[in-house]
Structure 1
Amino acid sequence: MVFTNSLSSYYEKFLATGEVKCIDEEIPFEIPKGWEWARFGNIVNHSPQVICEDNFEVAFMPMALIDAGYRSSYTFEKRYWRNVKSGFTKMQKGDIAYAKITPCFQNRKSFILGDVPSNIATATTELNVIRIYADTFARWYLLYILKSDFFIKEAKYKGTAGQQRVLSDYVKSKLLPIPPRKEQDRICDKLQEVLPIVDNYDKFQSELNSLNSTIGERLKKTILQEAIQGKLVPQISEEGTARELLEQIRQEKQKLVKEGKLRKSVLSDSVIYKGDDNKYYEQVGKKCLDITEQIPFETPKNWVWTRLSHIANIYTGNSISETEKKSKFTDVIGRYYIGTKDVDFNNRIIYDNGIAIPKQYEPDFRLAPNNSILMCIEGGSAGRKIAILNQDVCFGNKLCCFSPFVGIGKYMYYYLQSPSFFELFNLNKTGIIGGVSIAKVKEILIPLPPIKEQQRIVAQIEKLFEQLR
């Protein structure tokens, strides 16, 4: 028993031995007059027994069916007692159960057992059960103590990180503040009145926190989507048309083919146009295909739809085995080799990664030129890792290089990060690890504005992004 003396110090008397000890250092705070301090182990039964007939149906509760939080909430399955009377935690109606394992203990997985089949339940062995003697305590008062920071944050554990269990000695020796019985009821009534309000506040605060943490990215996506639909800047007729830009790109490709820098196959472009019937058609050689269902949205009249492969040289890099990487390309002087891990989710590239391609091996590798775009097209990062190069590099086979023609790289770079592109990209994913073939990437559609409008779009995007920082 715990008591005070005339000097307001706290003492504990051990009834078995008569020993008296000052426990001032254990008292966490002062309590109102009429309240008492008591050890948890002395006021309730921590090892209650349950008796039931084998053929009785009872409740069964795995941890997953016990709700976290400040309520007494759970669901249950049904089992026959004979099948669950051994190897599980047992309780009866009115008992209080609480998780003893982390993180369920901290998440407040605890409850008062209510009406269940046969008024008996068995549950995961990761629960502790307590039973009140007669009607000495309000069950909800003890449940609220079990759910309180006062009880949880000072807990002592055993076991490895992530699978720790609260010590029985901590629970039983914990000093609890005990009000008079009727005051316990009044405390519980008030808590049950205000906690739903607190729960709602917590829910709204969590939603607000989530919104605050994601609003920047959401706004960026909205800006990019508006940009590629021609809604971010006004159209200016004097800037010409995207059809004129495509002709300029075609001439540039012819020049590169003559110089032997591109294969002749790049000249076999298709033409996409909108017919008098408001449908979209693609002229591929002598074939004319209706592709209306592939067009995700309308664009300004001076824009065109085209395929990515028509406005950029697109190709993947080269793989290097671990053996080769260690023996030939680690800590050597040469051109940087960029792998998927060297492109981060913030559009940055780690160039000095310890891997380089010496000059004598360069002919064996594909080159991604300065100002071209690298994107991961295979694995969990597919479509999500993308960056612009500031120098020529060699690169890995899970990365795709977009080397645009006629200086339209920045617009393409932002298009490749837009929600529309990401949706088209994901629609083309295949395989267990999730990737898009280079052939499919080349066929993805892009809405193309005139070159000068692209420049204004890029400038406006970067201005708005800067304001979001």
Structure 2
Amino acid sequence: MADLSTPTNDGQSEQAAESLITNHIDIWTTAIERKSSAGRGSSNKFSLYGIKKLRELILELAVRGKLVPQASFDEINSPDYEPASVLLERIAAVKAQLVKEGKLKKQKPLPEIGDNEKPFELPNGWKWSRLGDFVSIIRGITFPSSEKHRELAPSRVACIRTTNVQDSLEWDDLLYVDRSYVKREEQYLKLGDIVMSMANSRELVGKVSFITHIPVGESSFGGFLSVIRPYQFDASFLMSVLRAPLTKNELIGSASQTTNIANISLEKLNPLVIAVPPLEEQHRIVAKVDELMSLCDALEAQTEASIAAHQTLVETLLNALLLPNTSQPADSQSASLEPALNDSLIDNWERVAEHFDTLFTTAASIDTLKQTILQLAVMGKLVPQASLAERNSPDYEPAAKLLKRIKAEKAQLIKDGKIKKQKPLPDITDEEKPFELPESGEWVRLGDLCTLVTSGSRGWKTYYAESGATFIRSQDIKYDRVEFDDKAYVKLPETTEGKRTKVDVGNLLMTITGANVAKTAIVEIELDEAYVSQHVALIKLINSVMNKYIHLWLTGAFGGRGLLLECSYGAKPGLNLQNINELIIPIPPLEEQHRIVAKVEELMALCDKLKARLSDAQTTQLHLTDAIVEQAV
């Protein structure tokens, strides 16, 4: 790799930068960072980490003078050549004249720049300067909250806020305030201004947007913003400087921090040390940055399209496995083999298996495979069903017989006064059934399999304590287990109805409010005493040995969870207990349930191993990307 550490005047640095970018296209486009996910279903969100780092590298090379050729020896000695020192002297004269005319407030002299403040060696013709020496920094206007308006009026001006400051300034969502709050002429926006967020989250403080147009007439800006107004300086180059990692880190490092908000003061912003190139070189740098950022845009679009196409292919091939059977056993002898694995399923699986190594190369594709496994499991297509001889055995219990036994057991519990009699649930219609079951399977409503489906009462916060009984909230329910990041406790009076919601090992728990509504877990850890909150449904089965199979159905995006999500409502999704009681479930014979659970656990473990290897490979790519960037700067 070419050495980019020493400034040159012959274009070698520019050529090295171009090679660095173009020779590692595969690294930039394949270094993808996945958002954290867990369980049998997860988010497909990702970020194009490599392209993000490439954008940062382009900006960093630009502001260090390594992106375009420097002026040649002859150009430097030309009478028309203007080094940065002359540019800065001219800007100082302009600012002095504005102060003299009363158009600009005189500022205190900024301190000399010490050697310890200079992070790299400057190219020829460049000069270190403080930001406040060549710009004006203007704070936004303040006004009472009651003076915010959504409608424009003759006496009002538009006022942009931190939410408007994005990669480019957004004008769609504006507030309007009375123009009397604009105390000085300089507080009106001008073309070429740079708007900076001065108070925001630590990740967003210091974010900048460029004013390329003002579509709503006179406009000002709020108190959490500042305008940086350069003098005889290429504002687009300054934008690159302010967005470069070195500058952003300096701004974030200088920001004061409250609980949630970081603040940048003018006292920190004015003295910011900037490497200033000659004006002509600023223009060349801006042109090159624009060119390379367009390349990044194209790479980003191409990569996202490739990822989307790959995922569509995976989903198409896996969805083919879920299609209804197109061939049935011809006679009783063939029926004794593996009726679950019919010819069409085998043919479709062979297409997947043939290209397995190229299909399942992303976290999203593996997540889709997991969901397909869950769906095949509950459709009776994952394990062989009972042979004809087994079905004719006196010990064989089809699902219909199993459900009849559960119904009798529930009736006995009601007769013994151990559980309350429930209202009959509606019959299951053919329209409700999402697919056809094997001959030995039956559809049933979840409530008919339960002794209790309930949730915690409101007002439990009054019982919160430092110790006592464990209080299970929605955030304690992961995708397949109960896990406490921050355990809560309650102490209940003897007379409380909390005993109704006491949790036992083997119970199912389901979130019934919030973004992760219908997320379900099995209680597998021993809890001395535990209760559920009002945001959690407690599901107690009559036959607890069925809980793992039922959990499979409740976990699937195309199964129970998918059906329940259709019942959620409003801006904040939620379920009621009736939704859960009426949920339909495909029930195979009990022995087959055990085989299905064992096979799913086996295949999920293989998927997790595949995902772990993929994660290791992606981590290596991310580290390689970081190493390339670090070497370059």
Q: TM-score, normalized by length of structure 2?
A: 0.54
Aligned-residue offset at 1:458: 0.7
Who is 2:596 aligned against?
A: 457
Per the alignment, do residues 453 and 326 of structure 1 end up closer, same or farther by CA in structure 2, a change over 3 Å counting?
closer
For the Cα contact (< 8 Å) 1:61–1:76, is it kept in 2?
no
Aligned-residue offset at 1:325: 5.4
Alpha-carbon distance in structure 2 between the residues aligned to 1:415 and 1:202: 38
Per the alignment, do residues 81 and 435 of structure 1 end up closer, same or farther by CA in structure 2, a change over 3 Å counting?
closer
Residue of structure 2 aligned with 1:224, choices 342, 367, 374: 374
Alpha-carbon distance in structure 1 between the residues aligned to 2:188 and 2:110: 36
Aligned-residue offset at 1:188: 0.5
Aligned-residue offset at 1:22: 7.5
Who is 2:551 aligned against?
A: 413
Per the alignment, do residues 41 and 110 of structure 1 end up closer, same or farther by CA in structure 2, a change over 3 Å counting?
same
Is 1:145 the counterpart of 2:241 in the alignment? Answer: yes
| Higher mean C-alpha displacement, 359-368 vs 28-37 | 359-368
| Higher mean C-alpha displacement, 75-84 vs 95-104 | 75-84
Aligned-residue offset at 1:225: 2.3
Alpha-carbon distance in structure 2 between the residues aligned to 1:268 and 1:82: 64
Who is 2:506 aligned against?
A: 371
| Higher mean C-alpha displacement, 337-346 vs 24-33 | 337-346
Aligned-residue offset at 1:175: 2.4
Is 1:24 the counterpart of 2:115 in the alignment? Answer: yes
Residue of structure 1 aligned with 2:400, choices 234, 238, 246: 246
For the Cα contact (< 8 Å) 2:456–2:501, is it kept in 1?
yes
Aligned-residue offset at 1:253: 4.0
Residue of structure 1 aligned with 2:195, choices 84, 93, 97: 97
How is 1:118-157 mapped onto 2 (pairs within 5 angstroms)? 120-133=218-231, 136-155=232-251, 156-157=254-255
Who is 1:182 aligned against?
A: 280
Is 1:314 the counterpart of 2:468 in the alignment? Answer: no
For the Cα contact (< 8 Å) 2:506–2:522, is it kept in 1?
no
Alpha-carbon distance in structure 2 between the residues aligned to 1:79 and 1:386: 46
What amino acid is aligned across from residue 41 of structure 1 in structure 2? G
The structure with more helix, counted as a fraction of residues: 2
Alpha-carbon distance in structure 2 between the residues aligned to 1:321 and 1:99: 41
Residue of structure 2 aligned with 1:42, choices 118, 129, 133: 133
Q: Deviations over 1:318-356 (max 9, x none)?
A: 7697699589x964xxxx766336942143346997669
Aligned-residue offset at 1:19: 13
Who is 2:182 aligned against?
A: 86
Alpha-carbon distance in structure 2 between the residues aligned to 1:163 and 1:108: 14
Aligned-residue offset at 1:161: 4.3
How is 1:189-268 mapped onto 2 (pairs within 5 angstroms)? 189-199=287-297, 201=299, 217-238=367-388, 240=391, 244-254=398-408, 257-258=411-412, 260=415
Alpha-carbon distance in structure 2 between the residues aligned to 1:365 and 1:442: 17
For the Cα contact (< 8 Å) 2:206–2:248, is it kept in 1?
no
Who is 2:264 aligned against?
A: 166
Q: TM-score, normalized by length of structure 1?
A: 0.71
Aligned-residue offset at 1:266: 7.7
| Higher mean C-alpha displacement, 82-91 vs 224-233 | 82-91
Q: Deviations over 1:219-258 (max 9, x none)?
A: 4333222322233234344354998322233235435645
How is 1:297-312 mapped onto 2 (pairs within 5 angstroms)? 297-312=435-450
Who is 1:111 aligned against?
A: 210
Aligned-residue Cα RMSD (Å) equals: 5.0
Aligned-residue offset at 1:413: 1.8
Indicate the percent of aligned positions where both proteins have the same amino acid. Answer: 22
The structure with more strand, counted as a fraction of residues: 1
For the Cα contact (< 8 Å) 2:196–2:227, is it kept in 1?
yes
Q: Deviations over 1:263-314 (max 9, x none)?
A: 69689788x7xxxxxxxxx5xxxxxxxx232222333343222212333433
Aligned-residue offset at 1:58: 9.7
Alpha-carbon distance in structure 2 between the residues aligned to 1:464 and 1:97: 53
Alpha-carbon distance in structure 2 between the residues aligned to 1:360 and 1:265: 23
Per the alignment, do residues 139 and 226 of structure 1 end up closer, same or farther by CA in structure 2, a change over 3 Å counting?
same
Aligned-residue offset at 1:24: 1.5
| Higher mean C-alpha displacement, 158-167 vs 346-355 | 346-355
Is 1:441 the counterpart of 2:574 in the alignment? Answer: no
What amino acid is aligned across from residue 299 of structure 1 in structure 2? L
Who is 2:480 aligned against?
A: 347
Who is 1:467 aligned against?
A: 606
Q: Deviations over 1:47-73 (max 9, x none)?
A: 599xxxxx999973522663423xx44
Q: Deviations over 1:156-192 (max 9, x none)?
A: 2346243333221332222221222211111110000
Aligned length: 425
Aligned-residue offset at 1:465: 1.7
What amino acid is aligned across from residue 181 of structure 1 in structure 2? L
Alpha-carbon distance in structure 1 between the residues aligned to 2:127 and 2:397: 86
| Higher mean C-alpha displacement, 186-195 vs 74-83 | 74-83
For the Cα contact (< 8 Å) 1:98–1:110, is it kept in 2?
yes
For the Cα contact (< 8 Å) 1:369–1:403, is it kept in 2?
no
How is 1:378-417 mapped onto 2 (pairs within 5 angstroms)? 382-389=517-524, 395-396=531-532, 398=534, 399-405=537-543, 407-417=545-555
Q: Which runs of 5+ in 2 are unaligned?
A: 1-88, 97-107, 141-152, 312-360, 609-633
| Higher mean C-alpha displacement, 232-241 vs 167-176 | 232-241
Alpha-carbon distance in structure 1 between the residues aligned to 2:508 and 2:123: 69
Per the alignment, do residues 21 and 440 of structure 1 end up closer, same or farther by CA in structure 2, a change over 3 Å counting?
closer
Bigger radius of gyration: 1
Q: Which runs of 5+ in 1 are unaligned?
A: 1-12, 50-54, 273-281, 283-290
Per the alignment, do residues 161 and 31 of structure 1 end up closer, same or farther by CA in structure 2, a change over 3 Å counting?
farther
For the Cα contact (< 8 Å) 2:507–2:541, is it kept in 1?
yes
For the Cα contact (< 8 Å) 2:515–2:572, is it kept in 1?
yes
For the Cα contact (< 8 Å) 1:257–1:264, is it kept in 2?
no
Helix, strand or coil: the match of 2:545?
coil
Q: Deviations over 1:378-416 (max 9, x none)?
A: 666652242134669664474322314383222112112
Helix, strand or coil: the match of 2:233?
coil
Alpha-carbon distance in structure 1 between the residues aligned to 2:459 and 2:278: 74
Residue of structure 2 aligned with 1:33, choices 111, 117, 124: 124
Aligned-residue offset at 1:150: 2.5
For the Cα contact (< 8 Å) 2:553–2:561, is it kept in 1?
no
Who is 2:618 aligned against?
A: none
Alpha-carbon distance in structure 2 between the residues aligned to 1:105 and 1:308: 47
For the Cα contact (< 8 Å) 2:199–2:261, is it kept in 1?
yes
Aligned-residue offset at 1:431: 8.7
Alpha-carbon distance in structure 2 between the residues aligned to 1:22 and 1:363: 68
For the Cα contact (< 8 Å) 2:383–2:595, is it kept in 1?
yes
Helix, strand or coil: the match of 1:154?
helix
For the Cα contact (< 8 Å) 1:377–1:400, is it kept in 2?
no
Aligned-residue offset at 1:205: 7.9
For the Cα contact (< 8 Å) 2:135–2:228, is it kept in 1?
yes
| Higher mean C-alpha displacement, 177-186 vs 86-95 | 86-95
